[in-house]
Amino acid sequence: GAVVSQHPSWVICKSGTSVKIECRSLDFQATTMFWYRQFPKQSLMLMATSNEGSKATYEQGVEKDKFLINHASLTLSTLTVTSAHPEDSSFYICSARDPDTIYEQYFGPGTRLTVT
Amino acid sequence: KQEVTQIPAALSVPEGENLVLNCSFTDSAIYNLQWFRQDPGKGLTSLLLIQSSQREQTSGRLNASLDKSSGRSTLYIAASQPGDSATYLCAVTTDSWGKLQFGAGTQVVVTP
């Protein structure tokens, strides 16, 4: 089956630093990937849609200069949280859309970010 | 704007009982509806995907129905087991890119 990986699985960083999270589709090429964040006891909120070779499309209220997304290849998208603050602490999940199926997405295991 | 609601927010049942989880959405113009399972601190596992033209999907002990006109879906889990304990999320695909709108989830506990 289709597998999506994320790295790292958890990260702790100091306030003001930047953190990069990688999302990889391991056995298929994903022209479209999605980034979500999830606060404790809450559901997933879509942050942005990442398309290979073009700029990401951000949801309303998501700061594009703070959450930098780069879809460098058909198997890799990265999310960089710049100048992280404690309120950015969250669970970040990516998903990749398999172009051969009808709108089916495969989710990564998530990355727990804690900003101290 | 599409809104997805899941009721109940939490559910506790003894092992062996059937589970019924509800999902409603406000805009019937969806491409499909999916049910996911999420274990604590983990990512999502896809359970069932129902295309907008379908009325139900089945996989093992799981059955999901879709009534697009009334904006409702129900997930049935037969003969629940402690291993079914998790949070169940429903989501609708709202555009041709595959963008998903999630409900808040139903937290299920199955007691032995």
Percentage of chain B beyond pLDDT 70 is: 100
Per-residue pLDDT tens digits for B62-72: 999 999 999 99
Percentage of chain A beyond pLDDT 90 is: 72
The pLDDT assigned to A41 comes to 80
The reply to whether residue B41 touches residue A104, judged by beta carbons under 8 angstroms, is no
Residue A85 scores a pLDDT above 70: yes
Which chain B residues contact residue A61 at CB under 8 A?
A: none
- Nearest-CA distance from B39 to chain A in Å? 10
Asked if residue A86 lies in contact with residue A116, where contact means CB atoms within 8 angstroms, the answer is yes
The reply to whether residue A105 touches residue B43, judged by beta carbons under 8 angstroms, is no
Which chain B residues contact residue A8 at CB under 8 A?
A: none
Per-residue pLDDT tens digits for A31-54: 899 999 998 888 899 999 998 888
Tokens standing for A28?
Answer: 């298929």
Residue B95 scores a pLDDT above 90: no
- Alpha-carbon distances, residue B100 vs A9, A76, A95, B109 (angstroms): 23, 20, 10, 26
The answer to whether B43 contacts chain A (CB < 8 Å) is yes
Residue A103 scores a pLDDT above 80: no
Among residues B30, B13, B1, B9, which one has the least CA distance to residue B103? Answer: B9
- pLDDT category, B11, cuts 50, 70, 90? very high
The pLDDT assigned to A1 comes to 67
The pLDDT assigned to A69 comes to 95
Local structure of B84: helix, strand or coil = helix
Mean pLDDT value of segment A105-109: 91
- pLDDT category, A102, cuts 50, 70, 90? low
Residue A101 scores a pLDDT above 80: no
Q: Could you tell me which residues are beta bridge partners of residue B111?
A: B14
Residue B97 scores a pLDDT above 90: no
The pLDDT assigned to B18 comes to 97
Chain centroid to CA A105: how far? 13
Per-residue pLDDT tens digits for B28-47: 999 999 999 999 888 899 99
Which residue on chain B is closest to A93 by alpha carbon? B43
Residue A72 scores a pLDDT above 90: no
